[in-house]
Amino acid sequence: MNRVFKALADPTRRRVLQLLRERPMSAGELSDHFPVAKATMSAHFAVLREADLIADERQGKSIIYRLRLSVLEDALLGFADSFGIGFPAMTETSKEEGAG
């Protein structure tokens, strides 16, 4: 459950989940929605995959991500979104990026 909380604490990762609600997308398509480096997005995807909130499938050269939320996880996502938990500047990935 800690992994789920960690994954949902970041607004970028929450936005990824909201985008995947529409349809499964490739890593490239998802990355196009964010003004961050591809490596940063890869780290976000890894966190989401580790928390089992998304599933990935290789199709040719690209990786397709698909939403994999339980009702409880969906409720937590809605809660985190409503209360605006986490700020991009404060997230682990952003800090790591800043340090690098």
Q: Give the residues lining the site for another protein (CB under 8 A).
A: 21-24, 52, 55, 66-74
Smallest distance from the beta carbon of 42 to another protein, in angstroms? 22
Nearer Cβ to another protein, position 74 or 81?
Answer: 74
* Count of CB atoms situated within 10 Å of the CB of 64: 17
- Residue bearing tokens 């580790």: 50
Nearer Cβ to another protein, position 74 or 97?
Answer: 74
Smallest distance from the beta carbon of 76 to another protein, in angstroms? 12
Smallest distance from the beta carbon of 75 to another protein, in angstroms? 8
In angstroms, the CA 88 to CA 78 distance is 18
